[in-house]
């Protein structure tokens, strides 16, 4: 939209702006809040919700992965300890039996 209005017909003439209060009153008169379109507000909310969901899903998956790895590690440690213990028991028993046989 091009400028067409002549200065002398303007509501914002320089003689109205001689002091601070006239500028303030001009600003108060013409600067009014505008409302964004409802369609825009709703669409942007939808976009933001779509951005949030994948982040939360990803966090849940990574938590379960961590839990799985921890449980596997604990199970492996328990299995190793039990195996070593059983082996030691067998070894000890075998030694005792061997000693007793020699006597």
Partner 1 sequence: MNERVFRVEEKSEEQILALASAGDEEAFAWLYQKYVTRIYNYVYFRTGNAAEAEDLTAKVFMRAMKHIRNYRDLGLPFSAWLYRIAHNLVANWHRDNGRKKEIPLDDAMPLPVLSKHPESEVVKREETEKLLRIIRKLPPERQQLIILKFVEQLSNAEIGAIMGKSEGAIKSLYHRTLLSLREEYERYFDDFA
97 to 16, 22, 64, 86: CA distances (angstroms): 117, 112, 49, 16
Is residue 30 close enough to count as binding partner 1 by CB under 8 A? yes
Is residue 5 close enough to count as binding partner 1 by CB under 8 A? yes
In 3D space, the residue among 66, 85, 63, 86 whose CA is nearest the CA of residue 74 turns out to be 66
Q: Are 98 and 92 in contact (CB under 8 A)?
A: no
Is residue 51 close enough to count as binding partner 1 by CB under 8 A? yes
- Cβ nearer to partner 1, comparing 54 with 101: 54
- Cβ nearer to partner 1, comparing 12 with 71: 12
Is residue 103 close enough to count as binding partner 1 by CB under 8 A? no
Residue keyed to tokens 């409802």: 38
Is residue 55 close enough to count as binding partner 1 by CB under 8 A? yes
Distance (Å, rounded) from C-alpha 16 to C-alpha 18? 6
Chain positions contacting partner 1, by CB under 8 A: 1, 3, 5-7, 10-14, 17, 20, 23-24, 26-28, 30-37, 40-41, 44-45, 47-49, 51-53, 55-56, 59
């Amino acid at each position: 939209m091009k400028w067409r209005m002549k200065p002398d017909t303007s509501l914002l003439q320089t003689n109205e702006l001689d002091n601070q209060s006239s500028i303030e009153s001009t600003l108060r008169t013409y600067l009014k809040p505008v409302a964004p379109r409802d369609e825009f507000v709703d669409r942007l909310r939808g976009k933001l919700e779509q951005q949030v969901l994948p982040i939360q899903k990803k966090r849940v998956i990574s938590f379960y992965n961590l839990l799985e790895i921890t449980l596997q590690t604990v199970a492996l440690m328990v299995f190793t300890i039990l195996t070593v213990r059983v082996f030691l028991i067998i070894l000890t028993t075998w030694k005792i039996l061997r000693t007793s046989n020699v006597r």
